[in-house]
Chain A
Amino acid sequence: MKIDKNTINKIARLSRIKLDDKESEDYIKDLNSILDWVEQLNEVNTENVEPLSNISSSILPKREDVSKDTNSSEEILENAPDKLEGFFVVPKVVE
Chain B
Amino acid sequence: MNNLIKGEKHDWEMVIGLEIHAQVKSNSKLFSSSSTKFGSSPNSQVSLVDAAMPGMLPVINKYCVEQAVKTGVGLNAKINNYSVFDRKNYFYADLPQGYQISQYKYPIVGEGKVTIDFKDGTSKDIRIVRLHLEQDAGKSLHDQNPSKTYVDLNRSGVALMEIVSEPDIRTPDEAGMYISKIRSILMYLDTCDGNMQEGSLRADVNISVRKPGDEYGTRCEIKNLNSIKFIKQAINYEAKRQIEILESGGSIEQNTMLFNTSTGKTRPMRNKEEAHDYRYFPDPDLLPLEISKEEIGKIKSSIPELPDELKNKFIETYKLSNYDASVLTAEKQTSDYFNETINSDPELKNHAKIVVNWITSELFSLLNKNNQDLNNSPVSPENLGQLIKLISTNEISGKIAKDVLEDMFSSEKTARQIVDEKGLQQVTDQGEIAKVIDEVIAENPKMVEQYLAGKDKLLGFFVGQAMKLTKGKANPKMLNDILKQKLNKKN
Contact = CB atoms under 8 A, between A and B. Distances in A.
Interface residues of B, number: 51
Contacts, number: 131
Nearest to A73: B43
Contacts of A68: 28, 33-35, 47
B64 A65 contact: yes
Contacts of A53: 84, 282, 288
B43 A63 contact: no
A14 interface: yes
Interface string B285-314: 011111000000000000000000000000
B28 A91 contact: no
Contact of A94 (B59, B64, B142): B142
B386 interface: no
Interface string B274-290: 00010100101011111
A67 B140 contact: no
A92 B33 contact: no
- Interface SS majority for chain A: loop
Given A14-B277, A56-B287, A73-B44, A62 B28 contact: no
A67 B34 contact: yes
A3 interface: no
Contact of B149 (A16, A70, A77, A93): A93
A58 B146 CA distance: 51
Nearest to B61: A65
B161 to A, nearest CB: 15
Interface in B57-97: 59-65, 84, 89, 91-93
B51 A91 contact: no
Contacts of B84: 53
A90 interface: yes
Contact of A63 (B44, B61, B152): B61
B149 A72 contact: no
A31 interface: no
A78 to B, nearest CB: 10
Contacts of A72: 34, 43-47
B153 interface: yes
A86 B41 contact: yes
A47 interface: no
Nearest to A62: B62
B478 interface: no
A92 B147 contact: yes
Interface of B: 26-28, 33-37, 41-47, 51, 59-65, 84, 89, 91-93, 140-142, 145-153, 269-270, 277, 279, 282, 284, 286-290
Given A87-B152, A95-B270, 18 more contacts: A54-B288, A58-B287, A60-B287, A60-B288, A61-B59, A62-B62, A64-B63, A69-B35, A72-B44, A73-B42, A86-B43, A86-B44, A88-B152, A89-B148, A90-B93, A90-B149, A92-B145, A95-B269
21 contacts: A14-B277, A60-B60, A60-B288, A66-B28, A66-B33, A67-B35, A67-B37, A69-B35, A70-B45, A73-B42, A73-B43, A73-B44, A86-B44, A87-B42, A87-B152, A88-B152, A89-B148, A92-B142, A93-B149, A94-B140, A94-B142
